[in-house]
Amino acid sequence: DVKVTQSSRYLVKRTGEKVFLECVQDMDHENMFWYRQDPGLGLRLIYFSYDVKMKEKGDIPEGYSVSREKKERFSLILESASTNQTSMYLCASDPSGKNTGELFFGEGSRLTVL
Amino acid sequence: AQTVTQSQPEMSVQEAETVTLSCTYDTSESDYYLFWYKQPPSRQMILVIRQEAYKQQNATENRFSVNFQKAAKSFSLKISDSQLGDAAMYFCAYRNNNDMRFGAGTRLTVKP
């Protein structure tokens, strides 16, 4: 079974803190994604990566950056957390070229910024 | 940009009954995938069912089936013989290459 693991299920941070959200997948998938989930808005794409050190902006990249130094790991970084970044963050992966289209999700990281 | 619309924020169904969740989407592409994902409370999102746009036949997975109307850009999910474990948020999603769009979700409650 594909496993996508997000390092923290729940985090509480202060405004202005730097926040790292880590995601690891164990199926050698090329593509990895970070989504933000908010009630009434569904999932919105922050960034995705299709290879090591490669990244593309999604719909809402402002205030976020990402890092992919190894194929299995994709990190989301909030350089200076703000209260409007309080949300659920979902990491996902899929194998490029398999054409199944399905994303495999982690359990999510619920971030609260005070 | 492609959009996905789920017009029912909440739905309720009696155990063992059938419920249909609605989804419409907007695209100018002819080849794409459509999905229904399930997100149980405090648990990870999992795939329920997938439909390739080039296939006319509606996808089915056990108690789950879809009604795919390509011309109308409609993709509804029917859950038959609803079970308590079906209670969850359901998200409709569209994908064309690395452009994947999700609807706002429908929260399904199953009453015993």
Residue-wise pLDDT for B2-58, tens only, equals 689 999 999 999 999 999 999 999 999 888 999 999 999 878 899 999 999 999 899
Q: Does B46 touch chain A (CB under 8 A)?
A: yes
SS (H, E, C) B43-104: CCCEEEEEEECCCCCCCEECCEEEEEECCCCEEEEEECCCCHHHCEEEEEEEEECCEEEECC
Query: DSSP code of A97?
Result: T
Core vs surface per residue A27-55: b (16+ CB within 10 A) or e: eebbbbbbbbbeeeebbebbbbbeeeeeb
Residue B1, pLDDT > 80, answer no
Supply φ then ψ for residue B5, to 5 degrees: -120, 125
B98 neighbourhood in chain A, CB within 8 Å = 31, 48, 50, 56
A4 neighbourhood in chain B, CB within 8 Å = 44
Query: Could you give the CA distance from residue B39 to residue A42 in angstroms, rounded to a whole number?
Result: 11
- Is-contact B104 B94, C-beta < 8 A? no
- Is-contact A79 A63, C-beta < 8 A? yes
pLDDT < 70 stretches in chain A? 1-2, 96-100
pLDDT of residue B60: 96
pLDDT of residue A69: 95
pLDDT of residue B104: 94
pLDDT of residue B15: 97
Give the pairing type, strands B10-14 and B106-111. parallel
pLDDT of residue A101: 77
A/B interface, count of CB pairs below 8 Å: 42
- Contact flag A101-B33 (C-beta cutoff 8 Å): yes
Q: Does A56 touch chain B (CB under 8 A)?
A: yes
Q: Does B64 touch chain A (CB under 8 A)?
A: no
* Cα separations in angstroms, B11 against B7, B38, B86, B87, B105: 10, 14, 12, 10, 11
Query: DSSP string spanning A6-39?
Result: ES-SEEEE-TT--EEEEEEESS--SEEEEEEEET
pLDDT tens-digit series, residues B68-91: 999 999 999 999 999 999 999 999
- How many angstroms separate the CA of residue B17 from the nearest CA in chain A? 26
Q: Does A38 touch chain B (CB under 8 A)?
A: no
